[in-house]
Amino acid sequence: MTMATETGAPVDTTKTALQVTDLIKQFGGGRSLLGRPLPAVHAVRGLSFEVRPGEILGIVGESGCGKSTVARMLVGLESPTEGRITLREEPLAEPGKPIKRTVLARKIQYVFQDPISSLNPRKTIREILSAPLYYLRGMTESQRAERLKELMAAVNLRPEFLDRYPHEFSGGQAQRIGIARALAAEPEVLVLDEPVSALDVSVQAQVLNLLQDLRRQFNLTYVFISHDLGVVRNLCDRVAVMYFGRIVETGSTRALFDNPQHHYTRLLLDSVPGARDGTLPDEAANAELPDPFHPPTGCAFAPRCSAASEQCRQSDPELDTRRQDGQQVACYHPAGESAD
């Protein structure tokens, strides 16, 4: 079944492009030379989600919630400690198996947050964009020249920019070059890690519109990671909210923004300055994340949550999969039902 999404692009809801199952990532850990266990940071603590072909899945969360670690695992820059990632039922990452990075890179590509630092200062744009064409697509020189022109046209940059160096570009132009490099590998899925957060708003709009156009033009699927709720609302079809390494709520963009169920999602939305009814949440000083070396047994948000009960501190709620509308929430006392 194909249906038009909120953003107007066709999404095949019966198929799954990218599937992530029980993903866990720990940094550090292991044992010292003397056999003592070393502390491990629990960055991602059991994550499952799926992305449908042609869809934009937004992952939102604040710093330290593990959203960038998820992104890096999706493209193979980190390997998961546990769990698996599959693309169209083909396994991409499994624990204990080495990452086949070139295989992966032809299917999933990455757009970095900082457009300038993701471009080597000593290489021309031509050299930077040629690398994936040569190493991943094995193109000859004449094929590459042709494709470079197409890529520059696709991201609205003049072809004479090819022989310039990164420092000659503004942030917005550099980010378009970053997108062109990701497109060069002809991937099915683009993982975008805060691609517009380093840009000014007027330039941000240019890049976001470009991303919309490219998705339609090349039938792309996006995983869009951001902390900017306004951007997510206007770009994404579905959203997953992360807190301390887990997804606490997921659903269609409209449902999630209009009717947030998790108390953290509500707090996030109420915290956006100048939005909603114009009043910010209470000035509670406790906004600190739990210790990532020793994650709590219960819900990580419980210390900040007004609805927290003893149950919340004892055990961590799983994402509720029973709901019909596709909106899922990991909470014992969801906000919508807290009245009874």
Partner 1 sequence: MSRFMNISNALPLARWFGHRHSRTSPLQLLLRNRLAAAGLIVLIAVCILALITPWLPLHHPNQTALGNRLLPPGSDGHLLGTDHLGRDILARILWGTRVSLSVGISATLVAATVGSILGILAGYFGRHVDNILMRGIDMVMAFPYILLALAIVAVLGPGLLNALYAIAIVNIPFFARNVRGVTVTLRNREFVDAALLSGKGHARILLTEILPNVLPVIVITMSTTVGWMILETAGLSFLGLGAQPPQADLGSMLGEGRRLISTAPHVATIPGLMIFLLVMSINLLGDGVRDALDPRLKAGALRRPAARTRTAPAARQQPTGEPKGLLEVDNLRTEFHLDGQVHQAVNGPTFHIEPGECLGIIGESGSGKSVTAMSLLGLVASPPGIIQNGQVNYQRQNLLGVSDPVLRGYRGGELAYIFQDPLSTLHPLFTVGDQLVEALRAHRPLSYRAAWQEAVRRLEEVRMPNAARRAKSYPHQLSGGMRQRVSIAMALANDPQLIIADEPTTALDVTVQAQILKLLNRLREQKQASLMFITHDFGVVKQICHRVAVMYAGEIVEIGPVEEILARPAHPYTRRLIGCVPSVDYEGGRLAEIPGLPPQVSNLPVGCKFADRCDQVTDQCRAAPIELDTLNERHQARCIFAREVSA
Residue closer to partner 1 by CB (options 80, 166) is: 166
Q: Of 31-39, 44-52, 270-278, 315-323, which part binds partner 1 (CB under 8 A)?
A: 270-278
Find how far residue 55's CA is from the centre of its chain: 13
Q: Answer yes or no whether residue 276 interacts with partner 1 by CB under 8 A.
A: yes
- CB of residue 81 to partner 1, shortest distance in Å: 17
189 binds partner 1 (CB under 8 A): no
206, 303, 313, 320: residue in contact with partner 1 (rule CB under 8 A): 206
Residues 159-178 interacting with partner 1 (rule: CB under 8 A) = 166-168, 170, 172, 178
From residue 106 to residue 145, the character string flagging contacts with partner 1 as x (rule: CB under 8 A) and all else as - is ---xx-xxx-xxxxxxxx----x--xx-xxx---------
User: Does 153 engage in binding with partner 1 (CB under 8 A)?
Assistant: no
Window 294 to 323, contacts with partner 1 (CB under 8 A) = none
In angstroms, give the least distance from the CB of 321 to partner 1: 27
Is 181 an interacting residue with respect to partner 1 (CB under 8 A)? Answer: yes
Structure tokens given for 225? 């990671």
Q: How far apart are CA 132 and CA 321, in angstroms?
A: 40
Residue whose tokens read 């330290």: 64
The CB-of-212 to partner 1 minimum distance in angstroms stands at 7
85-111 b/e (C-beta count within 10 Å ≥ 16 → b) = bbbeeeebbeeeeebeeeebbebbbbb
Q: Does 81 bind partner 1 (CB under 8 A)?
A: no
CB burial readout 228-265, b (16+ within 10 A) else e: bbebbbebbbbbbbbbbbbbbbbbbbebbbeebbbbbb
Q: Which stretch binds partner 1 (CB under 8 A): 17-25, 29-37, 195-203, 328-336?
A: 195-203
Length of the chain: 340
3-class SS of residue 170: coil
Instruction: Kindly write down the DSSP assignment for every residue of 272-294, as one continuous string.
Output: STT-TTS-PPP--S--PPPPTTS
| Residues 141, 143, 144, 150, Cα dihedral to 10° | 150
Nearer of residues 273 and 340 to partner 1, judged by Cβ: 273
231 contact partners, CB below 8 Å, separation of at least 6: 196, 204, 208
Q: Give residues 25-54 in contact with partner 1 (rule: CB under 8 A).
A: none
Q: Is the CB of 26 or the CB of 109 nearer to partner 1?
A: 109
In sequence order, what are the residues at sequence separation of 6 or more whose Cβ sits closer than 8 angstroms to the Cβ of residue 16?
50, 51, 52, 53, 88, 89
- Please give the residues from 87 up to 106 whose contact with partner 1 meets the rule CB under 8 A: 101-102, 105
In the complex, the smallest distance separating the C-beta of residue 42 from partner 1, rounded to whole angstroms, is: 18
Among 150, 200, 291, 337, binds partner 1 (CB under 8 A): 200
Stretch touching partner 1 by CB under 8 A, among 12-20, 22-30, 81-89, 275-283:
275-283
Evaluated on CA atoms 28, 30, 31, 32, the torsion sign reads negative
- Helices 171-184/125-135 angle, 10° precision: 20
Comparison of 48 and 203: residue with beta carbon closer to partner 1:
203
Cβ atoms of 55 and 11 within 8 Å: the answer is yes
Residues 207-236, interacting with partner 1 (CB under 8 A): 208-209, 212, 227-231, 233-235
